[in-house]
Amino acid sequence: MTVAQLAEQFNLKLLAGEQGTNCEFTGCYVGDLLSWVMGRAKSGDIWLTVMGNINAIAVASLADIACIVLTENAALDDDAKAKADTLGIPIYITEESSFHTAMKIGQLL
């Protein structure tokens, strides 16, 4: 299933990185500490977090994350948005919690 299909199904709003939305995802990781995520998340994971800064985009790119979902309407910084657009890292936002979003994604995997 692609990131774009997931977003449509769960009504996630795309904030940036549209060019990367056709990539397939294979798992999900939840976390806000960047190095923790780099140490544990797997390539192809959807990353649920409240960290919407430019460093989160760098982490997603270097760790081959499929997309970031900012949960509970966490903010995306302007420079982070620009970087995500440049790198093609899809960033979505939802008002739901990481827990609820992860539960729903888990049912698809």
Residue 40 near residue 31, CB atoms below 8 Å:
yes
Please give the C-alpha separations between residue 6 and each of 34, 82, 107, 109, in angstroms, as whole numbers: 24, 23, 12, 11
By C-beta, is 7 or 20 nearer to other proteins?
20
Q: From the CB of 46, what's the least distance to other proteins, in Å?
A: 17
By C-beta, is 79 or 95 nearer to other proteins?
79
What is the chain's length? Answer: 109
Tell me if 56 contacts other proteins by CB under 8 A.
Answer: yes
Question: Binding residues for other proteins, per CB under 8 A?
Answer: 32-36, 38-39, 43, 51, 53-56, 58-59, 61-64, 79, 87
